[in-house]
C-alpha cells in the first residue's frame, strides 16, 4: 500500500462496508439465457458482415451469434476462442461501441446495435465455467519458445504456440500472470477474480510454463533467452510512466494512476484502500477514466479529470467518458498542469487553459487536491532491446523485430492500438509466424 495511507486527508474506509460491494459490482452483469436469445435474435447474420471487419481478431460474429440463437453456446464460444483465446476478457473490456457494435447494421439503421460484446461474454463464460478447454495440442515439435510478459499478447502467443506443439516458457516480472488484465483494468469491469480464472483456463492447453518475478534485465537478458530457446516473443508492455512536467510535481500525494489501479485490483478489502477527499486525475485515456471513476467509487468527494485537448481527442471512448460523468467525475478539457502547490504534500494544483493549438489563452484554473494521479502515458523500459521505432520496438509483418529469432507484440511494439483485443491479435499472429519460421509450415 502506498504512503498515502499516512497522509492527512487520504484515508481508507470512507463508506459503510455494504456500499463498497454495491459500487464495485459488475458493470455489465452477464445476460441470462432468455436475454441472450432475445439479443441474438436481433442479428441479421449479414454476409460480409461489417462487424467482422471491425474486429481486430476477425471473429466470425454472425456465426457465433447464430450458434447462440440455436442453443449451442459452447460451439459459439469455440468460434470466438479460435480467433481470440482471451475472448472472455475482451468481452468485458473491449470498446465494442467503437469497433464491432459501431459497425453493426442495426446501429447504422436504428441507433441500437446487437449486443455483440455481451453475447460474446455469455458464450465464453458458459464454456469456461464448465472447465472445458476446446483445443488440444498438436504433436510435440521439440522446439522451445520464450515469451517475455504474461499479458494479453504474451498469453495469446503462448497458447497458440502450445496448441501448435511447441513448448513455451513465459517469463513475467510480476507475481501473477495477466499483465494489464490483472493489474491495470478497473475492478468493476473484471469482478470475482476473472483475470486469474481466465489464465488458469487458458493454461489447460498444456505445454506452457510460467516463471514469475522474472523481469527482463540483470541475469535474464535477451541474449540469454535467445541462447536458451529457439525463438523469443517480447510482450513486455510499457513499464515506465511519463513524468509530470509541472513545478512541484514531486510533492507527496502525486502518484501514478497505474499504481493506484493495481493497488485496488490486488486489495482483499476495498475499504482498506486510501483515497483523498479532492482527487485530480491528469490524462485522457482509459487509465485516466478508470482511476477517476474508482476514486469516486471509493468515496472521494470531488474528482476532476483534466485533459490537455478536447473530449473528441481523448483516447477514452465516449462511453467511458459518459460513464465517468455519470459517476460524478468532472471532466475539464484544454488545460495543462502548471504547478503543484503545497507544503510537502499537494494541496492544490494549477492549470493553464490552452487553445486547440496548445497555446496558452491567458486563463488558468486552480483546483483543491490532496491526491493527484498521473495518467499521461507510459514508456518502454529495458536495455538491449531490438531497434526502436520512436519509443516502441520496431516490428514488421507479424511482429518480426530487427533481431533474428525475436518477435514482439502488444503495447511494447510500434503500430498497435494499445487495446487488449489488438494485443491478443498480435500475439496470435506472431505465434503463427514463429511456427512457420521454426517448422517451415505455412
Residue stretches of the chain with pLDDT short of 50: 1, 3, 5
Task: Tell me if 430 sits within 8 A of 406, measured CB to CB.
Answer: no
Tell me if 33-128 shares its fold with 144-239+380-439: no
Topology of domain 3-25+241-378, CATH = FAD/NAD(P)-binding domain (3.50.50)
Question: Could you tell me what percent of the chain has a pLDDT over 70?
Answer: 98
- Classify 407 as helix, strand or coil: strand
Task: Tell me if 433 sits within 8 A of 399, measured CB to CB.
Answer: yes
* CA angle at 196 for the pair 194 and 200, rounded to the nearest 5°: 115
Cα torsion 85, 88, 93, 95 to 10°: value is 70
Q: Where are the domains of the chain?
A: 3-25+241-378, 33-128, 144-239+380-439
For residue 343 the three cell numbers come to 507544503
Task: Tell me if 260 sits within 8 A of 185, measured CB to CB.
Answer: no
**Which of left, alpha, beta for 193 (phi over 0: left; psi -120 to 50: alpha)?**
left
Q: How far is CA 256 from CA 51, 217, 371, in A?
A: 36, 23, 11
Contacts of 393 (CB under 8 A, 6+ apart): 234, 380, 385, 386, 387, 401, 408, 412, 413, 414
Q: What is the pLDDT of residue 58?
A: 97
What does pTM read for this prediction? 0.95
Helix (H) or strand (E) holding 255: strand 254-256
Give the integer Cα–Cα distance in Å for 310 and 319. 16
Q: What is the pLDDT of residue 1?
A: 44
Q: What is the pLDDT of residue 4?
A: 55
Superfamily of domain 144-239+380-439: FAD/NAD(P)-binding domain (3.50.50.60)
CATH of domain 33-128: 1.10.1060.10
The packing angle between helices 116-128 and 194-202, to 10°, is 60
Amino acid at each position: 500500500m502506498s504512503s498515502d495511507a499516512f497522509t492527512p486527508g487520504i484515508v481508507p474506509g470512507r463508506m459503510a462496508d455494504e456500499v463498497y460491494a454495491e459500487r464495485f459490482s459488475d458493470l455489465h452483469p452477464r445476460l441470462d439465457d432468455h436475454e441472450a436469445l432475445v439479443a441474438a435474435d436481433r442479428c441479421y447474420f449479414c454476409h460480409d458482415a461489417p462487424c467482422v471487419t471491425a474486429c481486430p481478431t476477425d471473429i466470425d460474429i454472425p456465426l457465433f451469434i447464430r450458434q447462440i440463437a440455436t442453443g449451442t453456446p459452447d460451439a459459439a464460444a469455440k468460434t470466438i476462442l479460435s480467433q481470440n483465446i482471451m475472448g472472455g476478457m475482451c468481452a468485458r473490456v473491449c470498446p465494442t461501441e467503437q469497433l464491432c457494435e459501431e459497425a453493426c447494421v442495426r446501429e447504422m439503421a436504428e441507433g441500437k446495435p446487437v449486443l455483440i460484446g455481451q453475447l460474446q461474454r455469455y458464450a465464453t463464460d458458459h464454456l469456461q465455467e464448465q472447465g472445458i478447454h476446446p483445443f488440444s495440442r498438436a504433436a510435440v515439435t521439440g522446439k522451445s519458445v520464450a515469451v517475455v510478459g504474461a499479458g494479453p499478447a504474451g498469453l495469446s502467443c503462448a497458447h497458440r504456440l502450445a496448441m501448435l506443439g511447441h513448448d513455451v516458457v513465459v517469463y513475467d516480472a510480476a507475481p501473477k500472470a495477466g499483465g494489464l488484465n490483472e493489474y491495470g483494468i478497473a475492478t468493476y469491469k473484471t469482478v470475482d477474480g476473472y483475470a486469474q480464472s481466465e489464465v488458469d483456463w487458458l493454461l489447460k492447453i498444456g505445454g506452457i510454463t510460467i516463471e514469475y518475478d522474472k523481469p527482463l534485465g540483470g541475469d535474464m537478458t535477451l541474449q540469454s533467452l535467445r541462447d536458451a530457446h529457439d525463438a523469443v516473443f517480447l510482450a513486455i508492455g510499457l513499464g515506465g510512466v511519463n513524468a509530470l512536467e509541472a513545478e512541484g510535481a514531486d510533492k507527496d500525494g502525486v502518484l501514478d494512476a497505474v499504481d493506484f489501479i493495481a493497488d485496488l485490483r490486488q486489495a482483499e478489502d476495498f475499504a482498506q484502500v486510501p483515497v483523498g477527499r479532492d482527487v485530480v486525475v491528469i490524462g485522457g485515456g482509459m487509465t485516466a477514466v478508470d482511476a477517476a471513476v474508482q476514486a469516486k467509487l471509493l468515496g472521494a468527494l470531488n474528482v476532476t479529470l483534466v485533459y490537455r485537448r478536447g473530449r473528441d481527442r481523448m483516447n477514452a471512448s465516449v462511453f467511458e467518458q459518459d460513464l465517468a460523468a455519470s459517476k460524478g467525475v468532472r471532466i475539464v478539457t484544454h488545460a495543462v498542469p502548471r504547478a503543484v502547490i503545497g507544503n510537502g504534500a499537494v494541496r492544490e494544483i494549477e492549470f493553464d487553459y490552452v487553445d486547440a493549438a496548445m497555446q496558452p489563452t491567458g486563463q488558468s484554473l486552480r483546483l483543491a487536491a490532496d491526491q493527484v494521479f498521473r495518467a499521461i502515458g507510459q514508456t518502454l523500459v529495458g536495455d538491449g532491446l531490438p531497434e526502436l521505432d520512436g519509443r516502441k520496438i520496431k516490428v514488421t509483418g507479424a511482429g518480426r523485430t530487427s533481431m533474428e529469432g525475436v518477435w514482439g507484440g502488444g503495447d511494447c511494439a510500434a503500430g498497435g492500438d494499445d487495446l487488449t483485443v489488438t494485443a491478443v491479435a498480435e500475439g496470435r499472429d506472431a505465434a503463427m509466424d514463429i511456427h512457420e519460421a521454426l517448422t517451415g509450415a505455412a
